[in-house]
Amino acid sequence: MRRRTSDRLAAVARPVTHLAAGWYVALPSEELGRRPRRITLFGGSYVGWRGADGRAHVHGAVCPHAGAALHGGKVVDGTLECPFHRWRFDESGACVFVPGRRPPTRAAVTALPTRECSGYVWAWYGGGTPRHEPPDLPDLTSRRIPGVRRFRLADPTRATTRRILENTYDPDHLVALHGLTVAGEARVVFREPDGGTAGDGAGDGTPEPRCDATLTWPAYRGVLGTVSNAFGLNAREFTLRTRGWASCQEIEYSADGRRLYRMVLAVTPIGEHHSVQHINAVVDPDGAGAVGWLRALVHRAEVRVAARQDLPVFDTLLPGDRHGIYVPGDEAVRRFRRFYQQWVEAAEHG
């Protein structure tokens, strides 16, 4: 159902506005094989393909010659070949071969900066040279690390990128929506990437590189506390550390200093108010044998249930990134919104 929903959203995608510069998921790595793949991204059509060396590329989807869709072509000698007249384009997007004649000098397709890591093919939005790299967690893809368990989610939603990512900085919704009743209050502390106290930008128009934060809350109580105690999963203090860019996040969850799982939270902006929320997580070894597997299943369920609870709300939010009436518990969300806006402006100025 969710896959069909994503296809329907792509069919009516409109250009995205108010989008921050950054890395966005073009598609999961496993979905890009030997043949070119159609991608709807930022409200436009693109094609993903792999060169002779296996590296992923994301290019504009339309051949500049006669307008044929390049995803219907094939990869030949490390180039992307159009299915209509066999024009070929290299990884830079330049036309390097036309049957029987010299390629026109201006013949080229847009080539987005592309990276592949953490189980995804990423494309840069915002023009110019990428200002940072996407989150790279080798444990999400490596099969050589014993004892870890992995899982992945991809959920279409009508929320914008900012709405999806600011959710991490909203401690009040943990109780109101997810029912995480705790023996006290949740606290959010922002940090600069080097560990100092966060500010509101460099003052010279350069956006802050990240919006890192640590969210802590005390032991679970009530029904959740009873269940957590039964599985030995309760703790004196839980910690959620976020390395936050304007387009994606790297999250680490710990209990009393013991790391439980790590994950990447990312977004595919299909079109205006049409996105896919991506979660790729790895659960650290937490006990041997059946106990370890049981705890891994519980952590997996935590993430899945929370994501599924968010989606109906995301789908009914007012269109756009509207602001509302703020209360003291919204200060962390407001901090992220100011940070995000810096990167929107960076995208607009190229």
Q: At 82, which CATH number?
A: 2.102.10.10
- pLDDT in the model for residue 91: 97
Q: How many CB atoms within 10 Å of residue 94?
A: 16
Q: What is the pLDDT of residues 248-298, one digit of tens each?
A: 999 999 888 888 889 999 999 999 989 999 999 988 766 555 666 777 777
User: Rounded to an integer, what is the distance from CA 235 to the centroid of its chain?
Assistant: 29
Helix, strand and coil content of the chain, in percent to the nearest 5, comes to 25, 35, 40
Cβ atoms of 245 and 226 within 8 Å: the answer is no
Domain membership flag for residue 14: no
CATH number at residue 247: 3.90.380.10
Cα 331 from Cα 337, distance rounded (Å): 10
Poorest-confidence range of 6-20, 53-67, 80-94, 120-134? 6-20
- Does one domain contain both 61 and 86? yes
Domain membership flag for residue 132: no
- Does one domain contain both 192 and 286? yes
Residue 183 corresponds to which amino acid? A
- Does one domain contain both 171 and 118? no
Match 């590189």 to its residue by tokens. 209
Domain membership flag for residue 264: yes
Which of residues 70, 104, 125 is at a domain's end?
125
Domain membership flag for residue 10: no
- Does one domain contain both 155 and 272? yes
Question: Residue 296 has what DSSP assignment?
Answer: H
- Does one domain contain both 151 and 100? no
Q: Residue 321: is its pLDDT beyond 50? A: yes
Domain region containing 101: 19-125
Average pLDDT of the chain is 87
- Of 200, 236, 195, the closest CA to residue 213 belongs to 195
- Does one domain contain both 47 and 149? no
pLDDT classification of 48: cutoffs 50, 70, 90: very high
Task: Count how many residues are written for the chain.
Answer: 350
Domain membership flag for residue 151: yes
**pTM score, whole prediction:** 0.90
**In DSSP terms, which residues pair with 60 in a beta bridge?**
46
Domain membership flag for residue 205: yes
Share of the chain above pLDDT 70, in %: 83
Domain count of the fold of the chain: 2
Q: Residue 1: is its pLDDT beyond 50? A: no
Q: Residue 75: is its pLDDT beyond 50? A: yes
Q: Residue 60: is its pLDDT beyond 80? A: yes
Query: Pairing mode, if any, of strands 95-97 and 111-112?
Result: unpaired
- pLDDT in the model for residue 195: 46
- Does one domain contain both 245 and 199? yes
Higher pLDDT residue, 287 or 151? 151
Which of residues 125, 156, 176 is at a domain's end?
125
- Does one domain contain both 295 and 207? yes
